[in-house]
A and B are shown apart, each in its own frame.
Chain A
């Protein structure tokens, strides 16, 4: 029996690992390119270990190109090419993109209107307009048509609804220029030992602008600034860069690949005193190439399917397979967090993307802890299940919602504080628990809808766990009681953490902003979430159908929490707009 259980667990691990390997392979292939010919033959992986000074950080080239293309094409692939290839190709062979749909228009209403104008002007084929309306990608030439320019001017005057999006289009257009691309490509480290000194762009390697093979006519303001570098090492970079450009224009992939390898090595040799760890750069590139491992949602999905069967049918085999899958999913999730921590040099909890992915990771850790405590009680499996559902939903959001920007950026100065790690992690852990509680509450409501009686956990949540400690799942305990008990266990912990998190936030705000509580929307809705659970706690004292009210309020509490995270963050700005 024991052996069978181990085998079932291993089966779960193997199934999930197989899916993970498949997802890994797809990510890796997807990150390379689906393009053919020259684009497919060029191998820019040596540049994964090259650093670029951008936005106050030293990023890997792949990470830099990804961020740059996010601004130009909204992260959409151009001609199925990888972003690192497209960035260089836009710079070296801009003529290829004269009439290519490269510029990203984010706002859907604007796309529809532009599409209308394009049709009216008969400026493009219907299929192309349709593609634009769907993907948001359009050629610069089409944006410069008179009626569209006039429309853009009008949108620019609406600061509330459209000006921001016009600004993004303008940024994309100006960034796409070869001069701007080359100017932003600060690959060359400075001389000396000052780790904060600005790096040089590739253009600054060329004393005479006419010698610059990439962008003749580039801004000369800092030309020859690289004269401060060791001439031999600087020339090695210069020659390698020239070779890359030449080979690229010849479309000689073998020569490009050889030159890129030389360039990467030459860059690292310019000034070893300030060059960052190439291992770290390689991991950063890999992290983004693997899609930030957010495809881990698929693994959680596998675990959720089996754990749900285990909960519904009390099927041990499904539990073990689900547990195996959950283990793999959690390890991949942990790896994603660990990698991000290693690459950014800080615990990932300082922007929306990080808060969402770390929140559910913390929730899952707590779920594992609770499951270990409840492993011999009727509540078992429910914490894994709810942790799996919350993590799956969060990782899916991180993968598919563009507002959750995975770019690694410097933290704002105000966030450099110990309380960031204490307050934020406590709060986001409570949010994860709230989501998990909503999951068990939904199950309860589902059970009631299919005819379950108004049963509930009489002792409460944690009390039920304590009272039933050591006992095995019993058929005498109704599903309603179990589900209500799990909801209460999660709700009680989230209740304490949310309140403690609010208090900690107030302590931080007091020494950061000068007042512990400012009635900022984010604060108010965190308090509102707490108020919902306060009502939940008290309403259990007064109503007969405690289980139903608990489930309804747990779902409402989750709704208020999500409102706080989504609507307040993205629509109603406040002091916490970075959180």
Chain B
């Protein structure tokens, strides 16, 4: 390229001498500026769009190309935002600013013709200065603010009130003068219509709390936000207390305590893209925060292959431990102890996207047979089940169709295989000894005939069968045969004959009022016990050593099952369209929960940039003692699981046992940031299109509005301020944005909280001034300067025509068109 100087930039000044001169020459070079802009373009392109690279020789086939974002590579690990705040990027911008400044000062004359360029360059430099202010002081994050909390107090008591958040399912207990009260939020209606009184027709936020008093009374207290005078109790199954005669028109059943609604205030938010580990002693409430610096984001860093369960058998996982030491001092809330004081804590592993899975490993010889079974139908649909032979509740699966039993030896296996029959032991008057009768499949069929019991004159007929019924206390299961007995005098008796005779009952006449059948103690003259089959439709039978693992499938007319020896990974046909396969079997199994890394193609893309399914491995050590566990990421470090039901965050703290035996809970979340005020959600307004959210989902929503109040001096609340998309509000230098909301869900009408984006914005005005100057400069340079230039050229021509050659020459020089005077205007 040959330098030309006919488009507005003065020729380069004589080259300077020495390093400073060389520096100034370099930084006043337009070519250098173009090179920097090209680098900026390439940097931005690679950061935002990534790169494509070939993986095969046929570069014309799309299959041979792969795409990657270098910023996500191992060792780089930068978010899009962070990629544009590295020293490389900042340095590039600094060089561009230096180039702009030096070039402008050294090479662009400050005159009317160049005013546009001056303004553009000045504007961009001011914009960069504003951006430095903005990005170096920027703090932003978000926080959910719940609408209300229910405050429990006891009149006359000095104890601090107890509170529970107004979220579905929230519970709390409080110690009153009469004993322990239990409270649970049972229903929240964000638009409860007031049905009477002078406020009739108004729609208000209603919270219903189930109360259990120390005396055992249970009732629901309904609270209306802003209308404490309408608080009243509802008796389950009866209705409003004041309409019940026994309460003499009183609205409240129990006045020994008071419930009221108050703001559920928030005084901090959680910083976007930050990391912190929160710990506390088990059983205590506030978390102690330890802020963590740079953690990976996109790649997995494992300490050993045993860290995780592999998703696919034989999968090779990257072993690349981290070593990020946590600060020795935590941020300890007043009145709390630091559970990690004196303990060294390090982050030694990171997983980007995983889910917790319980799997089995070989134990140390103690018998605990566990098998994983996969059923597959002809369409390829699969159903998995895990069976533990020695745990009664886990020994059966798929509604009792499959079970797993452990046998001591081959003889026991034979006995089990022969136990597929159902039978009943009977004794009626006139019999010396009990009689065992076989319950054949035809006995269980509809319309089965009665059979004689010996020559006693008694008959029996099986009318129904219920197997594996849970007992009322849920601690055991019973098997019941429903049998109709006919006595010699032709009177009948229906009995639920259980395998445990103590649980057998005779069925009496239905209750006249309720219509329910009466269940009575059995008639002592007829004794019966059901002996159920020990086999399911498919029974797995495992035993030690050579006994191996068998499947006992179905039963023939004699009650004998088909036997198949099972081999791991080899399917066994159950029917023509159903197969069964043992995918894992260990006779001395131990169960362990570990993260399982989700394959990339099965990850939710919407969570690509957030750590919603991430884990870190935190190792605690003190002297010889050491314990490391995987800790799941929580969007917010909430103190209890109550937010989980509102769909806000998981709540899965892990438990460490310190050498002194004390337990420490830990979660991984974002760093907290204290606000200079408290924020409360007065109301949340959903504005809808026709049909609304219920019919159209988000398409039916026109707007979300959070009505907020902020504390002033810790005593009073500001006027209500409305925040909705595009309409943020400011308080004490902090801006609040409508970020997300609480949509209705099944059995929950939602609107119980709002999600607020919170951040500062220093330097925005400076940025705006810079931008405005540069825009004006562009308009000037492209549209005003040519007019000025044209007028001046016309003046030169006029001066030449009138013979004022000196003036014309001066004017032409100022226009940088000396050739104009020589009659060669361009």
Known contacts A521-B48, A528-B41, A531-B40; decide if A161 and B601 are in contact (CB<8 Å). Answer: yes
- A525 x B735 contact (CB < 8 A): no
Contact B605 A496 (CB under 8 A): no
Inter-chain contacts of B45 with A (CB < 8 A): 524-525, 528
* Cα distance A510–B727 in the bound complex, in angstroms: 10
Residues of chain A within 8 A (CB-CB) of B779 are 496
A513 within 8 A of B: yes
A513 touching B380, Cβ below 8 Å? no
A159 lies within 8 A of B602 (CB): yes
Evaluate contact between B41 and A459: CB separation under 8 angstroms: no
Q: Nearest residue in A to B703 (C-beta to C-beta)?
A: A413
Q: Are B37 and A160 in contact (CB under 8 A)?
A: no
Q: Does A19 contact B (CB under 8 A)?
A: no
A543 to B: closest C-beta gap in Å: 5
B726 and A417 within 8 A (CB): yes
Are A541 and B48 also in contact (CB < 8 A) when A413-B702, A499-B774, A515-B759 are? no
Within 8 Å of chain B (Cβ to Cβ): is A176? no
A499 touches B775 (CB 8 A): yes
Q: Which residues of A contact B381 (CB under 8 A)?
A: 149, 153
Give how many B residues have a beta carbon under 8 Å from the other chain's beta carbons: 84
Interface presence of A403 (CB below 8 A): no
Given A56-B689, A538-B30, check contact A544 B1 (CB 8 Å). Answer: yes
Known contacts: A463-B786, A515-B761. The answer to whether A531 contacts B41 by CB under 8 A is yes
Given A159-B604, A544-B4: A572 and B692 interface contact (C-beta under 8 Å): no
Contact A198 B34 (CB under 8 A): no
Q: How far apart sit A419 and B30, CA to CA, in the bound complex (Å)?
A: 36
Q: Given that A519-B80, A519-B84 are contacting pairs, would A466 and B786 also be in contact in the complex, using a CB cutoff of 8 Å?
A: yes
* Closest partner residue, chain A, to B787 (CB atom): A466
Which residues of B from 214 to 252 have beta carbons under 8 Å from A? none
Q: A519-B48, A538-B37, A541-B9 are in contact. Are A146 and B602 (CB under 8 A)?
A: no
Say if the beta carbon of A383 comes within 8 Å of chain B. no
Tell me whether A512 is interfacial, beta carbon within 8 Å. yes
How near does chain B come to A404, taking the closest CB pair, in angstroms? 19
Q: Is A414's CB within 8 Å of the partner chain B?
A: yes
Given A511-B726, A519-B48, A535-B34, decide whether A410 and B692 contact each other with a Cβ distance below 8 A.
no
- CA of A466 to CA of B6 in the docked complex: distance in angstroms? 18
Task: Give A486 Cβ to nearest chain B Cβ, in Å.
Answer: 15
Min CB–CB distance B581 → chain A (angstroms): 16
Q: Which residues of B15-59 have CB atoms within 8 Å of chain A's CB atoms?
A: 30-31, 33-34, 37-38, 40-41, 44-45, 47-50
- Docked CA distance A500–B123 (Å): 12
Interface residues on A, range: 35 or more
Question: Looking at B604, B690, B694, B761, which has the most chain A CB atoms within 10 Å of its CB?
Answer: B690
CB-defined contacts of A161 to chain B, threshold 8 Å: 601
The yes or no answer to B744 lying at the interface (CB within 8 A) is: no
Question: Is the CB–CB distance between A196 and B690 below 8 Å?
Answer: yes
- Name the interface residues of A130-172: CB closer than 8 Å to any CB of B: 146-147, 149-150, 153, 157-161
Q: Is A440 an interface residue (CB 8 A)?
A: no
Considering the chains assembled together, what is the distance between the CA atoms of A534 and B775 in angstroms?
13
Name the A residues within 8 Å of B772 (CB-CB). 503
- Which of A53, A495, A520 contacts B782 (CB under 8 A)? A495
Would A521 and B692 be within 8 Å (CB), given that A158-B602, A416-B702, A572-B48 are in contact?
no
From B726, which residue of chain A is reached at the shortest CB distance? A417
- Fill in one digit per residue for A361-374: 1 if any B CB lies within 8 Å of its CB, else 0: 00000000000000
> Is there an interface contact between A410 and B601, defined as CB atoms closer than 8 Å?
no
| Chain B: minimal CB distance from A282 (Å) | 19
CA distance A460 to B789 in the complex (A): 12
Q: Is A542 a contact of B30 with CB atoms below 8 Å? A: yes
Residue of B40, B41, B737 contacting most chain A CB atoms (<10 Å): B41
| CB within 8 Å of A: which B674-706 residues | 688-692, 694-696, 698-704
Is A409 engaged at the interface, CB distance under 8 Å to the other chain? yes
Is B735 in contact with A186, judged by CB distance below 8 angstroms? no
Residues of B within 8 A of A186 (CB): 691, 695
A542 touches B3 (CB 8 A): yes
Contacts known (A159-B605, A535-B38); A519 close to B81, Cβ less than 8 A: yes
Mark contacts of B750-783 with chain A using CB atoms, 8 A cut-off: 1 yes-contact digit, 0 otherwise. Answer: 0000000111010010011001101100110011
B-facing mask of A493-504, CB < 8 A → 1, else 0?
A: 101100110010
B600 in complex: contacting residue of A160, A409, A508, A511, CB < 8 Å? A160
Given the interface contacts A199-B690, A539-B34, does A467 sit within 8 Å of B3 by beta carbon?
A: no
Q: Which of A26-50 contact B (CB under 8 A)?
A: none
With known contacts A196-B690, A467-B790, A514-B757, A160–B601 Cβ distance under 8 A: yes
Residues of A with C-beta under 8 A to B111: none
Q: A53-B695, A413-B703, A513-B737 are in contact. Are A462 and B786 (CB under 8 A)?
A: yes
Q: Does B622 contact A (CB under 8 A)?
A: no
**Taking the complex as formed, is A55 at the interface, i.e. its CB lies under 8 A from any CB of chain B?**
yes
Q: How far is the CA of A573 from the CA of B607 in the complex (A)?
A: 12
Q: Of B2, B688, B789, which contacts A56 at CB under 8 A?
A: B688
A534-B37 CB under 8 A given contacts A149-B379, A541-B30: yes
Tell me whether A409 and B8 are in contact in the complex, defined as CB-CB below 8 angstroms, given that A57-B689, A196-B690 are known contacts: no
User: Binary interface profile of A, 405-446, with partner B (CB < 8 Å = 1, else 0)?
Assistant: 000011011101101000000000000000000000000000
> Is B37 touching A514 in the complex (CB atoms < 8 A)?
no
- A413-B725, A524-B44, A525-B48 are known contacts. Are A496 and B782 too (CB-CB below 8 A)? yes
B307 — which chain A residues lie within 8 A by C-beta? Answer: none
Q: Does A540 contact B (CB under 8 A)?
A: yes
Q: Does A195 contact B (CB under 8 A)?
A: yes
State A563–B41 Cα separation when bound (angstroms): 14
Whether B725 contacts A414 by the Cβ 8 Å rule is yes
Asked if A416 and B726 make an inter-chain contact with CB atoms under 8 angstroms apart, the answer reads yes
Q: Which residue of A lies closest to B120 (CB)?
A: A499
Inter-chain contact B700/A55, CB cutoff 8 Å: yes
Interface membership of B603, Cβ < 8 A: yes
What A residues does B688 contact at CB under 8 A?
56, 196
Asked whether A512 lies within 8 Å of B782 as measured between CB atoms, the reply is: no
Q: Point out the residue from A160, A514, A544 that lies within 8 Å of B603, measured CB to CB.
A: A160
- Tell yes or no: A532 within 8 A of B by CB: yes
Q: In the complex the two chains form, is A467's CB within 8 Å of B786's CB?
A: yes
A501 to chain B, nearest CB (A): 10
Query: Which residue of the partner chain B has the closest CB to A500?
Result: B775
A175 to B559, CA, bound (A): 48
The listed residue with most A CB atoms (<10 A of its CB), out of B84, B700, B782, is B782
Query: Could you say which residues of chain B place their CB within 8 Å of the CB of A273?
Result: none
- Supposing A527-B44, A531-B37 touch, asked if A514 and B761 sit within 8 A by C-beta, the answer is yes
Check B47 against A524 for contact (C-beta < 8 Å).
yes
- Indicate whether B546 reaches chain A with its CB closer than 8 angstroms: no
Q: A196 to B689, Cβ gap below 8 A?
A: yes
Give the distance in Å from the alpha carbon of A429 to the alpha carbon of B432 in the complex: 104
Q: Select one of A521, A541, A563 contacting B4, CB under 8 A.
A: A541
Q: How far is A531 from B785 in the complex, measured between Cα atoms in Å?
A: 22
Contact status of A460 and B786, CB under 8 A, knowing A506-B767, A510-B761: yes
Taken residue by residue from 699 to 736, chain B's Cβ proximity to chain A (1 for < 8 Å, 0 otherwise) reads as 11111100000000000000000001111100000010
- With the chains together, A452 CA to B666 CA distance in Å? 74
Q: B61 → chain A, closest Cβ, in Å?
A: 13
Return the chain B residue nearest A549 by Cβ. B1
Contacts of B30 in A (CB 8 A): 538, 541-542
What are 28 residue pairs bridging A and B, where the CB atoms are less than 8 Å apart in the complex?
Answer: A146-B378, A149-B381, A150-B379, A196-B689, A196-B692, A198-B692, A413-B725, A414-B726, A417-B726, A419-B726, A458-B826, A463-B790, A492-B782, A495-B782, A500-B778, A511-B728, A512-B725, A514-B728, A515-B759, A524-B84, A525-B45, A525-B48, A535-B34, A538-B37, A541-B30, A542-B1, A567-B49, A572-B49
Question: Which 3 A/B pairs are nearest by Cβ-Cβ distance?
Answer: A150-B380, A56-B689, A463-B786
Starting from the known contacts A146-B379, A496-B775, A511-B726, 14 additional A-B residue pairs (CB-CB under 8 Å) come to A53-B690, A56-B688, A153-B381, A160-B600, A160-B603, A160-B605, A199-B690, A410-B702, A462-B786, A511-B727, A518-B81, A528-B41, A538-B30, A541-B7
